Amino acid sequence: MTRLLLSFGHGYSARALARLLPDGGWQIHGTTRSADKAEEIAATGVTPHLMPGEDLTPLLERATHLLISAGPDAEGDPVLRSYREAITRNAARYDWVGYLSTTGVYGDHQGGWVDEATPLTPSTRRGKWRAAAEAEWRAIPGLPLHIFRLAGIYGPGRGPFAKVRAGRARRIVKPGQVFSRTHVADIAQVLAASIARPNPGAAYNICDDDPAPPQDVITHAAALLDVPPPPVEAFETAEMTPMARSFYAESKRVRNDRIKDELGVCLRYPDYRAGLAALLDEEQARADERSQQ
């Protein structure tokens, strides 16, 4: 039986999941706001749809699985703004619905540990929007909803190496500051494991095993490239955009036991050192392949 996944906001993480799903058993449709990105999506074998622009109600009536990556704004969740009625009407038909949220919903814990049972106390505007969107999706009766709270995402094309090479990387130090991270391949495998073992109502943190200060990641990336690390800058005096500074507003360590215990996930990249080494190996393999062409 062919299953149909409708992916709202078919971006970086959703594309990683699509590559992981077996050929032949899935029809995958993905939305985007850009005609150029629609062409990129089509090149991966996924059927693209412009949103806003197309009426996706017929697809919502045929879909077996939904993945929501589209981010909320001050007015709420954009998917529910357009399709709340259709999704509510078809809620009991879906086998699985996944909502990609963020660990930002937990707020600041001054470096302390949080897990899925930790109350949601976001302090940033984006975190508050995400917590509100989670509540919107939870309020739909009968929806087999699974919430995934993602830590900072990195992976191919989203590593620190380009900035380090170009001299644009920065080591900004705020005492006690730690972030959790996750490689996009581990996001994809957690989503696939959840699809295989649905547990409606569950929330999962997706992150690696090693929350670490951001400057340590830059230092390690520079060492892998065998170049000097950028100078240390104190957070208090560093020139930063308001957006960049907001990332330092919260510090916490995120537990990931549930994806292991419940879904049987074994992380491919349990810390940033393993993830960065793999990214560098992939870069080298691509360079070698180009040189042989």
pLDDT tens-digit series, residues 216-252: 999 999 999 999 999 999 999 999 998 888 889 999 9
**Confidence at residue 66, expressed as pLDDT on a 0 to 100 scale:** 98
CB distance 60 to 83 below 8 Å: yes
Q: How far apart are CA 144 and CA 197, in angstroms?
A: 12
Domain formed by 3-154+182-208+254-269, architecture: 3-Layer(aba) Sandwich (3.40)
pLDDT tens-digit series, residues 128-185: 999 999 999 999 999 999 999 999 999 999 989 999 999 999 999 999 999 999 999 9
Rounded percentage of the chain residues whose pLDDT exceeds 70: 100
- Residue 289 pLDDT greater than 80, yes or no: yes
* Higher pLDDT pick, 285 / 278: 278
Q: How far apart are CA 244 and CA 252, in angstroms?
A: 17
Q: In the chain, where are the structural domains located?
A: 3-154+182-208+254-269
Q: How far apart are CA 106 and CA 118, in angstroms?
A: 7
* Confidence label for 192 from pLDDT (cuts 50, 70 and 90): very high
Q: How far apart are CA 243 and CA 237, in angstroms?
A: 16
**Confidence at residue 44, expressed as pLDDT on a 0 to 100 scale:** 95
3-state secondary structure of 254: strand
**Confidence at residue 276, expressed as pLDDT on a 0 to 100 scale:** 97
- Residue 293 pLDDT greater than 80, yes or no: no
CB distance 37 to 99 below 8 Å: no
Mean pLDDT of the chain: 96
Q: Burial level of 58, CB count in 10 A (0-12/13-18/19+)? A: exposed
Report the first-to-last Cα separation within the chain, whole angstroms: 40
- Mean of pLDDT values over 187-195: 98
Q: How far apart are CA 128 and CA 107, in angstroms?
A: 9
Q: How far apart are CA 117 and CA 105, in angstroms?
A: 12
**Confidence at residue 70, expressed as pLDDT on a 0 to 100 scale:** 95
For residue 145, the cross-strand partners are: 97
Element (H, E) at 19: helix 12-20
